[in-house]
Copies of this chain bind each other. A is one copy, B any other.
């Protein structure tokens, strides 16, 4: 096992000074092209990788970015990571994963986790991106952060946004246009800002269509399949059951699908069901789930980009609202 090459090794072999090697490695100007080439060749031959401890010691940085989230669905987590890693490719920052059980209950614990992980910056997914104590502590500790689809305090930090309310309105309008007038809603986890925003969007669509509040049954869920099953049971086991169900994510939508099947209700003939997120499961269940696509990986990449800009000393860029898209599949159809 041979020790890693250092700039000194390269300098010797290339017949230049260490500083020149450093210049080449950091793409700084003021190096002759032929020397630049030679140094690069030697570095490649020696399989040189810069020592981030040494770089960090000078700049007092760790080149570590932490991604925090609370056990949401696997495909959401993987999309988040994929987007962040895409943006990080070729950068010297590495992604540390830091799932956390319940940031709302223990905001200090989350910040302590980030501090002990010694990250330069954090990517905050919902719901921790909406917890003021977390943002306050981060501001104080000098850990930069970018917020992924926050629902509140949009002026704080740098945010990659989604118009959850408009997305909720869009999917509800799809069902209204199919002639539905009696709705069931399965809410997401109450701690997530998206839960109330999506509901507000549904209500926008209902109000515009003149649908009475009495014709809207709202059941609580928490984004899990299991909670969706229970909620769907409460909605579908009644005689005046809704003709359409709006579930706030696809896991719960798929759960509603399976409850309908168990109750002998044909989908979409007897009841239409729509989800949210366009997770893998939306395409894997049957009938496939009508849903709203959120470009999660692109959003994570955008947030990562914002974080990098801050870490490199740039200004906070104005937030971007990423587009959503209703995807109509087999689980929704005309009202009976």
A residues near B, CB below 8 A?
1-4, 47, 49, 51-54, 56-57, 60, 62, 64, 73-75, 77-78, 81-82, 85, 94-97, 99, 112, 115-118, 139-142, 225, 251, 254-255, 258, 261, 280-281, 283-286
Contacts and interface: CB of A to CB of B under 8 A. Distances in A.
Contacts of A74: 73-75, 77-78, 280
B225 A283 contact: yes
Contacts of A64: 94, 96
A80 B335 CA distance: 44
Contacts of A49: 112, 115-116, 118
B75 A97 contact: no
A112 B62 CA distance: 19
Contacts of A56: 53
A53 B141 CA distance: 17
Given A75-B74, A85-B97, A97-B97, A261 B286 contact: yes
A148 B225 CA distance: 29
A284 B286 contact: no
Contact of A52 (B73, B77, B118, B255): B118
Copies in the complex: 2
A42 to B, nearest CB: 16
Nearest to A85: B99
A57 B51 contact: yes
A73 B74 CA distance: 9
B47 A115 contact: yes
Contacts of A77: 74, 77-78
5 nearest A-B residue pairs (beta carbon): A74-B74, A74-B78, A53-B56, A53-B57, A1-B142
A141 B115 CA distance: 30
Contacts of A73: 74
Nearest to A288: B258
Contacts of A60: 3-4, 51, 53
9 contacts: A3-B142, A51-B60, A52-B53, A85-B97, A94-B117, A95-B97, A97-B97, A225-B283, A284-B285
B284 A254 contact: yes
Contact of A96 (B95, B112, B283): B95
